[in-house]
Amino acid sequence: MKHYPKVNIGKLMVGPSNPVRVMSVINLSPESFYKASIADGIDKFHEMVENASKDGADIIDIGGASTAPKDIYSTSDVSVDEEIERVTHALDALNTSRYPPLSIDTTSPRVAEVALNRGVSMVNDTSGLHMDAKMASLVADLCVPIVLMANCNGPCDSILASLNSLKDSLTIAKTAGIKTDKIIIDPGIGFGKPADVDAAILRELNIFAELNHPLLVGVSRKSFIGHFLDTPNPDDRLTGSIIATAVAVMNGANIIRTHDIRETKIAIKMGVALRKPNMHK
């Protein structure tokens, strides 16, 4: 296993020789596919942030608009102005210094800037810097960490497509001046991919580790689990999510993005126990 740079998210270190980190999902978007993840009001948002912190989340990922595939979940479009309003309303009422580092899940540099100016520590860009060129320059100028997700301008239909998408994203990041030790990569489980491609990515996760950046993996309650277990309702996908999480960690994931913190922490322990000797040392 190659060595690669560690990434600091606030005071949190991610990468080789560090524990696998847990990223909790909190959505400000009522259109999000898993309804239990939605904070429908400021009081609920505060409660969810507090609970995520108490349950042991290392990072809290906040989204103002759903990134779930519209053709699968029939999610509605949300304007950037609406996304900004949701994020601003939530963060202005939150003492961010009390909690683990916050991440903003957005493809919009305008939304990212608003969040970063309100105490958020990292950008999670599911477009992999392909949506808006201003995102790369913003992240470079502010010198903040970023998650780059594989995005093929539509579903990536193979491991190679996902890998090449990330290589393109890394080129964009390098050209913009984003430092190597500010980048985390995400192979992009879900997002309209065929279920067998998602499964193949999990089996072959070591291929993405060859890009020499910490790996974030999000499998929580996603549609490929529903496909294999015949559970169309995301509420019924916890067991499948935990199994997939253990596999992801066994194969090298450094961060797991999840809706279910306590159960995920158990799965992470099993995944670490099953890793090959000397992985990420």
231, 257 contact by CB (below 8 A): no
Stated pTM of the model: 0.93
Span 3-25, average pLDDT: 92
List all residues 6 or more positions away from 219 whose beta carbon is below 8 Å from its beta carbon: 189, 190, 198, 202, 225, 241, 244, 245, 248, 256
Structure token pair of residue 77: 């479009």
Q: What is the pLDDT of residues 81-98, one digit of tens each?
A: 999 999 999 999 899 999
Q: What is the pLDDT of residues 161-219, one digit of tens each?
A: 999 999 999 999 999 999 999 999 999 999 989 999 999 999 999 999 999 999 999 99
173, 136 contact by CB (below 8 A): yes
Class of the CATH-defined domain 7-273: alpha beta
